Amino acid sequence: DSTVHVYAAASLTDAMNDLVKTYEAAHPSVDIVPVYASSSTVARQIANGAPADIYFSANEQWMDWLGKQGVTLTERRDLLKNHLVVIAQKGSQIQSFIPDKDHRLDNYLGRNERVAVGDPDHVPAGIYAKQALTSLDQWQALEPRLARASDVRAAMALVERGEAPLGIVYATDAKASDRVKTLGAFPDGSHPPITYPIAEIGSPDSTTEAFYQWLQGQDAAQVFADYGFGPAKLKQ
Amino acid sequence: MLTPLEWEALQLSLKVAGVAVGASLVPGIALAWVLARHTFPGKSLLDGLIHLPLVLPPVVVGYLLLLAFGRQGVIGQWLARFDIGLPFTWQGAALAGGVMAFPLMVRAIRLSLEAVDVRLEAAARTLGATRARVFVTITLPLALPGVLTGMMLSFARALSEFGATMTFASNIPGETRTLPLALYSVIQSPGREAAAARLCLISIAVAMLSLLVSEWLARRSRRRMEGRDV
Amino acid sequence: MLTPLEWEALQLSLKVAGVAVGASLVPGIALAWVLARHTFPGKSLLDGLIHLPLVLPPVVVGYLLLLAFGRQGVIGQWLARFDIGLPFTWQGAALAGGVMAFPLMVRAIRLSLEAVDVRLEAAARTLGATRARVFVTITLPLALPGVLTGMMLSFARALSEFGATMTFASNIPGETRTLPLALYSVIQSPGREAAAARLCLISIAVAMLSLLVSEWLARRSRRRMEGRDV
Amino acid sequence: MFELDVTRVQGEFTLEVDLRLASRGVTALFGPSGSGKTTLLRLIAGLDRPDRGRIALEGYVLCDTATCRFVPVHRRRLGIVFQEARLFPHYSVRGNLCYGMRDEDPAAVARISGLLGIDHLLTRMPNTLSGGEARRVAIGRALLSSPRLLLLDEPLTGLDGARKQELLEYLAALVRDIDIPVIFVSHDPQELLAVADDLVLLEKGQVLAHGALNEVLARPELMSRLGGFDISAMLAARCHRHDVRRQLSELRLSDGQMLELPTLDIEPGQWLKIQVRARDVAIALEPVSGTSIRNTLKATITACQPLDDMASVTLVMLDAGQQTLRALISTASCEALGLAPGMTVQALIRAVSLARPAAAPALADQEVP
Amino acid sequence: MFELDVTRVQGEFTLEVDLRLASRGVTALFGPSGSGKTTLLRLIAGLDRPDRGRIALEGYVLCDTATCRFVPVHRRRLGIVFQEARLFPHYSVRGNLCYGMRDEDPAAVARISGLLGIDHLLTRMPNTLSGGEARRVAIGRALLSSPRLLLLDEPLTGLDGARKQELLEYLAALVRDIDIPVIFVSHDPQELLAVADDLVLLEKGQVLAHGALNEVLARPELMSRLGGFDISAMLAARCHRHDVRRQLSELRLSDGQMLELPTLDIEPGQWLKIQVRARDVAIALEPVSGTSIRNTLKATITACQPLDDMASVTLVMLDAGQQTLRALISTASCEALGLAPGMTVQALIRAVSLARPAAAPALADQEVP
Ligand SMILES: Nc1ncnc2c1ncn2[C@@H]1O[C@H](COP(=O)(O)OP(=O)(O)OP(=O)(O)O)[C@@H](O)[C@H]1O
Ligand SMILES: Nc1ncnc2c1ncn2[C@@H]1O[C@H](COP(=O)(O)OP(=O)(O)OP(=O)(O)O)[C@@H](O)[C@H]1O
Ligand code: MOO
Ligand SMILES: [Mg+2]
Ligand SMILES: [Mg+2]
């Protein structure tokens, strides 16, 4: 009986849970333990000796940071890719649009209304949103009108609850909720690619290695795709 | 000494926590008194309700606040008529802090009220004092250590409130970005440990100060009564 | 009635919060007593230190715990010699919960200890009781309402602890995924509101139960002393 | 009229009282420890509710279980001195004194605190007071609340003799001046004799006797319950004249017989009651001379009765005019003198035994028999 | 020997005491309210520390500021009855009684609680007790802790006469039996006379007088401070015989004169002290007969002195054999009889004035003058 601890970014929760279930069904002797928290928390924990076998981050920064802490990252890969989209509540009157230089988000906001985002100071999705808005020349106008949430899901909850007419979240999140609709995705060039790097911690045993390889395989890719993730271009 | 951002967060924190404590003091004392001195059907329920924020993860409390005070919440819609919107405002942050801190305040005050010698209250009533006068002149002053402790605890708790504030009031610089929110932001960014430590120290300093003030006040009120204590 | 995951989280929560309260009871009482009855240099510092977890955002506390008890932490390295590692274990979750709940416990007990009539203690001493015996037979029983309140508050607080636990002990299913962490995980998935509500209700039920038990015990201990109370 | 008809059960103890008290003067509540005195006061004060019954002061119903009426404590306007001092620890002595005052009245505070000897304590906090000082503050606080009824539960315990005497006199004067009823609990027969007009004797929650102090004290079957040796009689007498040179006052009883005693501070012509303790009365068959015993009253023996609890002492009941007098003598003397009911004898009463300290007021100067 | 040499300042009050007390018997602490009695007891108990001074019991130093020695309260083994009852509210009466006992001793508990009349309360909680009941429990608790020294701060307040008498007798017997020193604070001269051997008179924190009870009571300059009227003398006498038929006991004074009083419960041949109150002693120039006054002692006048605070009453100091006797008579009588120092007169003492309730123990039977 062997156990694999996977420390994953919170945004991967649903997809990973699904994958774990599938893998465990196929490998009854293997116990996959997924641990979800924000990428930063997870990174810190691993740096402090958390019994992680695999780290699955939502951005490259924390993976890089972990590497600098002296943690051995084996076979680091960029596994997934995500998109940033603008969402609105399901019944919203707002029509779909591509958020670009011509479609300014503030045009869709009424008095005192805000755009829900993950906190651009620390939540990766928020950081991407800031970069996108900046490159689209909307940051200045929108910054004071952001509703900054503690994580992407909280931002989406604000839209679901109608607190904010618009929200900026990952495509995967928008897809998972049936109480929001996607208005449009930010153009690819407006922000750095949203990549999910994955790595093994230290020298992996065979069980870990098997699961790690399986995650990169075709079956897993299909599940990730079902949850809205795209495959990242392999970068060595 | 402090950066403008730190100043902003500090001032905001003090305002938010101060308002939270100030606004919850009177209802806190009233509820503590009711719970300490009366039995009535539904008392346990009320007691439980007051303790809820202590029991639930703050984020959940924030979410529940959103359900109640949000744009589509029952209370929120009612407040909207008066053009009052709490989410995303510092008042909302104060509400979140106050709600999270409330059980601590009520408990401390209640504990002290229960320790007040009811025979002194009875003596005051025989001297013609109404229930209200007895409360103001006898009960409350004798329960002062508990009231101060309650205020201090709830001030500290409101000062450190993060999850519910973030969820309900968001993290808007200058509006709702209190010290813990600022600190959290910093901690989540790699390599900003020094800034985090500074914010940490500021929080600690403020809390220590409020602690010292409350202890000093409590000691002063006790010293007035000193004499043969054993 | 409960799903296996809920069961797991519930049992783990009870274990973690129980151990947190159990382990902090004796030091909590001791510190409360020292703070209530003694003056010494550094008292304010000690007092402030105990209150720190109340003042800092839980995540920061968790981070500090990690610094202290982690692989590279001073205490962590020392504990490692005995092959004890706290982070990422349920004992670590209990530590985080206990630390976060500690100020509440100490405060409640201290408040009650301060309200104990020291003249009764003096009377006991004249009857030949040592300080220790006085404490056990007079002080503590008379401060029982505060001790119970302290236990209840800290149990509730430990039960609801999220930020520090998440940071220090991580969110490992079956090991450190207590109710609030499970709730968090569920909240992270849209569309699982029903599951979230269930977990919420379970937390509330447990806390209510602990509240009722502590109230009942306190009432019982008070009833024993009843008589002419006014 | 002060009507009390109440029952209250606490544990195994039942208080069952049905009394009609005078609405003026001092009613003493006397009885062994645990007989229900405090319980009764608490019912009157409204601190406890009777299980059944009615309490009414001058027709104003304070409490009636039949009509569910219950006037709350603070509207009863009672001055209570509890068995414990119950001072407010967070108010100064002055603050405590003034707590129950409706209007500021520094003169009243000064007067009462002067009387109680606590002027120098006004700024002190209660926790620094001695036992007796605290008790005096408690008394002052009750007096200053201008009550409609005073309930005093052993108010003078812990006070030294001189202070006690002063307070007793003040209380007596107060009752005369402001004319409110006072219920006074005490275990000290001397205290009661000094101020009480009526006496209620409680035992095990039941009223054993109730009536004018004199009359109750005259009932021999109660003797053993009334504090043993200090059986007394009260004589009503009028001040006849003061003999300044010999420092004596002459009193005349209603039957014309005279009593001399050390100078009293009252006007000639005034009536007063004097307490004559049975143990201070000796009996002679004929008038004696050449002794320091100044007073000899002719009296007729109505009964001779050895004490229940001490057969070697005999209580002799005497009639002097319309008034009752009692003497305690040794049974041996009784036999030696051959005393028997119907005999006329001389009651010897020493002047000093009637003396009262200088400032003693004439307690019952309005009572003309 | 119990050495006390302490100073303590509290606020404007300073206690300054330098005393050497007997290490057996009862020392009374007497003085007006606020004179420092409780303060002194607290210093002895170790509840307060003296600003300066030394306290030692039989050479065992309890406290010495010079050497910084301070034995903590619980190792002093004192039995204290405080001015307030201070019962532990969370223990039953039995729990309170047993708290200070080193070993379980149900017999002792039963004996003491029987004596105090609290057997029926053993399972009750303190908050349900009456004032007097609580006080008795407090006394019992102190007695049962087998103390080395008893400190009693007005222990008998709130008790009814009969109970008080019983307790006084018990205390007297206790002191005789177990032979520990007792310091007894009381405002009641009667109580002190009943049990005290020595008297310390405190005023404003200073010792005004200290010595054997007799001697202090004999100092006329202290009279006004000692409770006014109850000036007494203690006579040492030996029980000569009991006259069963006449229900009298005959006592013989050291000079051979006889006293008769209602039957005493002691063995012939035993010595005892009897209290003779000055107000119970009359004076005659010649022996009188035909009266109920049974005792006539020949005595010589040593002084005649009007009282400071009441000139109409004169205190006559008498010598009867080697013993001192005192009489209070009206100044008028003194003049009428022409009393003057040196005269030999008859002191008239009524038998009943010497009577003691049935169970009275012979207080000082070991004291042979
Ligand atoms: N809650 C109670 N349960 C049982 N018995 C009680 C309760 N409260 C009072 N008693 C009893 O009622 C009786 C009357 O008490 P109360 O205080 O009236 O006596 P008291 O006459 O004032 O006595 P004291 O002179 O000692 O103060 C006492 O025997 C007491 O033990
Ligand atoms: N902390 C204090 N500050 C100022 N004065 C004090 C303090 N404590 C006691 N005193 C004073 O010391 C004096 C002596 O008090 P103590 O209690 O010894 O008197 P006491 O002789 O026992 O009187 P009582 O018979 O009334 O009990 C009192 O006048 C009291 O007011
Ligand atoms: O690191 Mo996350 O996926 O923003 O919670
Ligand atoms: Mg009573
Ligand atoms: Mg005293």
Model confidence at B148, pLDDT cuts 50, 70, 90, reads: very high
- Top residue of B5, B66, B77, B88 to mutate, by most chain A CBs within 10 Å, is B88
Say whether A161 and B163 touch across the interface (CB within 8 A).
no
B230: chain E residues, CB-CB within 8 Å: 47
| Ligand positioned closest to the Cα atom of D42 | 1
Helix (H, G, I), strand (E, B) or coil at A4: strand
When mean pLDDT is compared across D40-49, E53-62, E254-263, the lowest value belongs to E254-263
Residue type present at position E360: A
A7-28 pLDDT, tens digit per residue, is 998 888 889 989 999 999 999 9
CA dist., res. B54 & res. B65, Å (int): 14
C111-134 pLDDT, tens digit per residue, is 899 989 999 999 999 999 999 999
Positive or negative, the Cα torsion across A221, A227, A228, A232?
negative
User: What is the structure's pLDDT at E228?
Assistant: 52
Model confidence at D230, pLDDT cuts 50, 70, 90, reads: low
Q: Which residue of C has its CA nearest to E128?
A: C227
E146-189 pLDDT, tens digit per residue, is 898 899 998 888 788 778 877 887 787 777 777 788 999 988 87
B78-113 pLDDT, tens digit per residue, is 888 888 888 888 999 999 999 999 999 999 999 899
Q: What is the dihedral of CA B140, B144, B147, B150, to 10 degrees?
A: -160
pLDDT at C80 over 90: no
Higher pLDDT, A142 or E1: A142
When mean pLDDT is compared across B1-5, B222-226, C6-10, E335-339, the lowest value belongs to B222-226
Mean residue pLDDT across chain E = 85
Q: Which residue of B has its CA nearest to E86?
A: B230
Look up the domain containing B194 and give its range. Answer: 4-229
- Tell me which residues have their CB closer than 6 angstroms to ligand 2: B 227-228; D 128-133, 158; E 10-11, 13, 31, 33-39, 83
User: What is the structure's pLDDT at E355?
Assistant: 64
Q: For residue A171, what are its two tokens?
A: 């495509």
- Tell me which residues have their CB closer than 6 angstroms to ligand 3: A 9-11, 38-39, 58, 123-125, 151-152
When mean pLDDT is compared across A158-162, B27-31, E328-332, E351-355, the lowest value belongs to E351-355
Model confidence at A223, pLDDT cuts 50, 70, 90, reads: very high
pLDDT at A234 over 90: no
Mean residue pLDDT across chain C = 88
Provide mean pLDDT across the span C164-192.
83
Higher pLDDT, D363 or B118: B118
User: What is the structure's pLDDT at D330?
Assistant: 86
B107: chain C residues, CB-CB within 8 Å: 108, 149, 153
User: What is the structure's pLDDT at C230?
Assistant: 62
By Cβ distance, the residue of A13, A42, A179 closest to C189 is A13
Q: From B57, B56, B158, select the one nearest B104 (Cα to Cα).
A: B158
Mean residue pLDDT across chain D = 85
Residue C109: give its domain's CATH number.
1.10.3720.10
Q: For residue D261, what are its two tokens?
A: 């005693």
> How close does chain C come to B179, measured CA to CA in Å?
9
User: What is the structure's pLDDT at D355?
Assistant: 64
Tally the domains of chain B. Answer: 1
Provide mean pLDDT across the span C35-49.
89
